Amino acid sequence: QVQLVESGGGLVQPGGSLRLSCAASGFTFTNFVMSWYRQVPGKEREWVAIITSSGITTYQDSVKGRFTISRDNVKHTVYLQMNSLKPEGTAAYYCRASGQNVYWGQGTQVTVSS
């Protein structure tokens, strides 16, 4: 059974940091490109960051220099370190695995507010 379980969301003040985790199981993790998306109500889900199985990363321009995506191919986990958070970063954040198939996690809410 394929599972992507996100954790680490919460409420943080502007300028603060959060680290999201996504634990994967039920598929060959190293064969999949992993990414983070986010979505606010009424808007389309948008891509935030992506990491290949070999560790090559790409970021949406709005998060470059503030967010870092990483993966642990032993623990089958992908991370998103988010620094200098802004109120516009408030969203539900989703983990995505893409390869032979595409899988999504259930999402974790991040709220950036004072």
pLDDT tens for 11-28 read 999 999 999 999 999 999
Check residue 92 and give its pLDDT.
98
Give CA–CA dist 114/94, Å, rounded: 23
Mean pLDDT of 30-50: 97
Average pLDDT for 68-96:
98
| Confidence category of residue 64, pLDDT binned at 50, 70, 90 | very high
**What pLDDT shows up at residue 5?**
97
